[in-house]
Structure 1
Amino acid sequence: MARIKDVAAYILAKCGPMTAMKLQKLCYYAYGYHLAWEGRPLFRAPFEAWANGPVAPALYGLHRGRFQLDAGDIPGDPGVLDDGERESVDVVLDNLGKLSAHDLSEMTHREAPWVNARKRANVGPLERSSEPLDDDEIYEFFDALVSADGQQ
């Protein structure tokens, strides 16, 4: 199983420079879709319901204080992703990689895993929260998206 820093390093190597917020959201979407497609987590780092959307504190610790990130800035090994992990990340990048950090953040604000975690924490839109997103809720949300896409 890859680590979040390996996935982040893979994304940066493939896509080039991006904001830290965009990297966080792409890691989140890759995690969610991989969970639905493969039935297993992409990595073990949990996400929390921060004000700007899901954030993995483990990844945040690697880029704290930096706005822009480039290939090589996250000390992970993109080569350790297995075929299924790489495919999940690639599909997410192909479909969401052109969106801005703000667009991705806004998307998460309309989605059950983040919304429910914020409700559990009983916090307002701009308040801090370290409430974890629930993996069962992430799976249910992304599985419903994948199932709906498959029926079209």
Structure 2
Amino acid sequence: MTTSAKVIANAFIERSHAESKPLSNMQLQKLVYIANGFCLALLDKPLYYEETYAWTYGPLIKPLYSSLMSYGSNNITSTIPISPYEDRIDLNEEKIINYVWSKYSDMSAYKLSDLTHQAGTPWDITWRNNDYGMIDNNVIADYYKTLINVITQQSN
């Protein structure tokens, strides 16, 4: 099931509040994007239905950014209002969100931005060809499949 990026963002916001970890708009954008990458690679489907764009500070989901822009660079203090008709997160998506939270939630916004800006990342590929352009889900899926192979090889 694919839902709104706001639903995915709320899952991360709830974790940040439960663990008293501050979370900024930029951090949240990157966590939602990374979770989408793992979902594309592992489940062969996007985690959210909105498009992702290559912006100056990394991947950005415009409706999510608009919902949080009032925070500026301050920490997010509450969940995002969503439609009661939005699909919910299923068990496999929940596992991916938990994994991403466990591996990436301690990284600063700028560290996450640096991570998404590395050479060969979907952001980098898109930015070089079309700055502020849409990042293709196939490019994201291919990158995260490769990343998963590297992670798997390192753990063996």
TM superposition score category, shorter chain reference: 0.7 to 0.9
Counterpart of 2:81, as a letter, is P
TM-score normalized by structure 2?
0.86
> For this pair of structures, how many residues does the alignment match?
144
Structure 1 residues 147 and 13: CA distance shift in structure 2, 3 A: same
How far apart, in 2, do the equivalents of 1:70 and 1:42 lie?
23
Consecutive unaligned residues in structure 2, runs of 5 or more? none
Among residues 51, 66, 77, which one is paired with 1:70 in the alignment? 77
How far apart, in 1, do the equivalents of 2:108 and 2:12 lie?
15
How far apart, in 1, do the equivalents of 2:52 and 2:5 lie?
11
Give identity over the alignment, percent.
26
Structure 1 stretches of 4+ moved >3 Å: 76-79
1:138 aligns with 2:140: yes
Among residues 117, 124, 138, which one is paired with 1:115 in the alignment? 124
1:98 aligns with 2:84: no
Structure 1 residues 113 and 54: CA distance shift in structure 2, 3 A: same
Counterpart of 1:63, as a letter, is L
Counterpart of 2:124, as a letter, is V
Counterpart of 1:75, as a letter, is P
Other-structure match for 1:46: 51
TM-score normalized by structure 1?
0.88
How far apart, in 2, do the equivalents of 1:30 and 1:71 lie?
20
- Calculate the aligned-residue CA RMSD, in Å: 1.7
How far apart, in 1, do the equivalents of 2:117 and 2:132 lie?
15
